[in-house]
Amino acid sequence: MAILQVNNLKKIYTTRFGGNQVQALTNVNFSVEEGEYVAIMGESGSGKTTLLNILASLDKPTGGQVLLNHKNIAEIKEKEISAFRRKNLGFVFQDFNLLDTFSLQDNIFLPLVLSGKSFDEMNTRLQPIARKLEIGDILNKFPYEVSGGQKQRAAAARALITHPKLVLADEPTGSLDSKSSGHLLRIFSDINTDGQTIVMVTHSTKAASHAKRVMFIKDGEVFHQLYKGTMTNEQMFQKISDTLSVLTTGGEVSE
């Protein structure tokens, strides 16, 4: 069953005085099945971030549809959109976006508090996630006291604690060193194995090689897709690199 369905998505940015029009997304079509792990790759300016923002309901499309769980995101009322986002989506950002006034635990609790959950319930939800993400012993620390990798794992915990239908990750390894990146990606694979659907936008070939499927975006369109199938991470890495070099040189791609 497709959890996310994107049909003929179009996004045109108009500069403030209506002068120039920039077409960020021309015509994007794809779907994500429940339990999938999809990486979206593309160069700077290819429209990845625009796509993610629309999926996250942070931005509105100019044309086309985004169906999350068969519900059109664009039709949700402004009042309900925050609650919708809270219930159905979890976010992991490149720059963590943790609030420095909260301890890690309170940062993780934030979406649940906004949904009006009790402290006991939040605590029971937190325990297994904290164990899995290996942040159990630093929950009472503040963001400025922990490393980047720990921050990103806390941010991941914040995304997972609402049991979202879909986790959206925007360059999650972008600010991490290679060791922390590896750790985070392993965790992403683990939670995907447990059934969590993940859509990740990334530049990093290494990050993308962990995904089950990689989509390439170029000039506002889905240009190509790769399925991992039974490949190892290393084989997938090689395949992605080859595709990327073809993409940048502009040659024909053969599958």
Partner 1 sequence: MSKGFFPKLALINIKKNKQSYLPYIISCICTVMMFYIMHSISRNKGLFEMYGGDYIVSILNMGAIIIAIFSIIFLFYTNSFLMKRRKKELGLYNILGLEKKHIGKMMLYETAIIAFASIAIGLLGGMLLYKFIFMLLLKIISFQIPLTFSVPASSVAFTILLFGAIFTLSLLFNLGQVHLANPVELLKGSNQGEKEPRVKWPLVLIGVVSLGAGYAIALFIESPLEALSSFFVAVICVMIGTYALFTAGSIALLKMLKKNKKYYYKINHFTSVSGMIYRMKQNAVGLSNICILCTAILIMLSTTISFYAGQENVLRTRYPQDIIIRYNNANDENIAKINELIDTFKENEEVSVSNAISYRHSTLLTSRDADSFATYEDTENSIYTSISESFLLTLIPLNDFNQMKGTSLTLDDGEVYIYSSKNIYEGSTITINGHAFNVKEASLSSDSDDTMSKTFAQGSYNIIVKDINILNQAAASAGFSYFIGFDVEGNQDTVIHLTDTLKSQLSENVPEAYLESLESERQSFLSLYGGLLFLGIFLGILFMLATTLIIYYKQVSEGYEDKERFEIMQKVGMSKNEVKKSIKSQIVMIFTLPLATAIIHIAFAFKIITKILAVLNLSDVPLFVICTIITIAVFSLIYGIVYSLTAKTYYKIVQ
Binding site for partner 1 (CB under 8 A): 56, 58, 79, 81-83, 85-86, 89, 91, 93, 97-102, 106, 109-111, 113-114, 116-119, 122, 142, 144, 158
The nearer residue to partner 1, 155 or 217, going by C-beta atoms, is 155
Q: Please check whether residue 104 is in contact with residue 98, taking contact to mean a CB–CB distance below 8 angstroms.
A: yes
- How many residues can be counted in the chain? 255
Question: Cβ of residue 103: shortest distance to partner 1, in angstroms?
Answer: 8
The nearer residue to partner 1, 82 or 245, going by C-beta atoms, is 82
Question: Cβ of residue 178: shortest distance to partner 1, in angstroms?
Answer: 26
The nearer residue to partner 1, 22 or 83, going by C-beta atoms, is 83
Question: Cβ of residue 185: shortest distance to partner 1, in angstroms?
Answer: 22
Helix residue ranges per DSSP H, the chain: 48-55, 78-88, 104-114, 119-132, 148-160, 178-193, 205-208, 233-249
CA 29/CA 190 separation, integer angstroms: 28
The nearer residue to partner 1, 15 or 101, going by C-beta atoms, is 101
The nearer residue to partner 1, 27 or 123, going by C-beta atoms, is 123
Question: Cβ of residue 164: shortest distance to partner 1, in angstroms?
Answer: 10
Q: What sign results for the dihedral spanned by CA atoms 40, 205, 251, 24? A: positive
CA 18/CA 241 separation, integer angstroms: 39
**Paired tokens of 18:** 């209506």
**Paired tokens of 119:** 């402290």
Within 13 Å, how many C-alpha atoms sit on residue 84's CB side?
Answer: 18
Question: Cβ of residue 102: shortest distance to partner 1, in angstroms?
Answer: 6
Q: What sign results for the dihedral spanned by CA atoms 198, 201, 205, 206? A: negative
